[in-house]
Amino acid sequence: MPEGLSVSEVGKEIAEHATKEEHSDDAPSADHSSRLLSIVEALLLAVVAVLAAYSGFASAKWGTESSLKLAKAATVRNFASRAQLQGLETKNFDASTFNAWFTAYSVGNTTAMAVAEQRFRAQFLVAFNAWIATDPFTNPSAPKGPTYMPEYVQPGLAESTHLDNEANSLYSEGATDGQNSDLYVRTTVFLATVLFLVGISGHFRLRTARIGLIGVGGAILITSIVLLLTTPRPPL
């Protein structure tokens, strides 16, 4: 996608316009109104050159910002997946140690129960003690196991959720930055239209047609200026 109207194209158009004006001044038919129209055309082309340069710069800056944020969002998403996988592995380990404890409890092997408890992670032991406090073997309303307790915390899953939220935010910002870049490209298309209209206006000998083209080009140029003023400024 083009990032902006080439300033060299605008400069070429201005140079051609200056050459035509020079020849027009030497012609007997050149009058004051024709020279005035030529000045207006030259001013419009000069303004288009400046605005085209800015619009192209802004589009490129927003495009770069969008690419960086989208790439960072993908990286953070990978970290979130890795943290989630680690959290699931931790939960599986907690479940295996609890199953070993419960098996030992079922057969009344207190030694095996003690060994299993020693294998509990510190965070899981907190949830396990809280679950035991609910008297789960006689209380029908007790939670199904320690992993269902509010005290059971999995840092991996919490970190995964945090990273997922960060990735979503970065992706949203990257998409918005890409839209801003597209808005500047749209403005550049309008400026190219002004360049075309003003560029061909000098080829018409009929003053009414020339004024009409300049008027339409001026109106589009004003629209372009309004769009540039209302579009978010490019990042520093």
Tell me, letter by letter, the H, E, C secondary structure of 142-189.
CCCCHHHCCCCCCHHHHHHHHHHHHHHHHHHHHHHHHHHHHHHHHHHH
Question: In the chain, what percentage of residues exceed pLDDT 90?
Answer: 61
Element (H, E) at 66: helix 32-106
pLDDT at residue 34, as a whole number? 77
Cβ(183)–Cβ(231) under 8 Å?
yes
> To 10 degrees, what angle do helices 207-230 and 155-201 make?
160
pLDDT for residue 31 is more than 90: no
pLDDT at residue 28, as a whole number? 46
Sequence-separated (6 or more) residues with CB below 8 Å from residue 213? 197, 198, 200, 201, 204
* Average of per-residue pLDDT across 12-30: 51
* Average of per-residue pLDDT across 36-47: 88
pLDDT for residue 97 is more than 80: yes
CA 207 – CA 137 distance, rounded (Å): 100
pLDDT confidence bin for 68, thresholds 50/70/90:
very high
Nearest to 194 by CA among 87, 40, 85: 40
Question: In the chain, what percentage of residues exceed pLDDT 70?
Answer: 86
pLDDT for residue 19 is more than 60: no
Per mean pLDDT, which range of 19-28, 41-50, 147-156, 186-195 is the poorest?
Answer: 19-28
pLDDT confidence bin for 41, thresholds 50/70/90:
confident
CA 91 – CA 20 distance, rounded (Å): 80
pLDDT at residue 26, as a whole number? 46
pLDDT at residue 1, as a whole number? 43
* Average of per-residue pLDDT across 194-220: 87
pLDDT for residue 194 is more than 90: yes
Per mean pLDDT, which range of 6-15, 27-36, 154-163, 200-209 is the poorest?
Answer: 6-15
> To 10 degrees, what angle do helices 32-106 and 207-230 make?
30
What does pLDDT average to over the chain?
A: 86
pLDDT confidence bin for 217, thresholds 50/70/90:
very high
* Average of per-residue pLDDT across 90-118: 93
pLDDT at residue 38, as a whole number? 84
* Average of per-residue pLDDT across 139-144: 90
| Prediction pTM value | 0.69
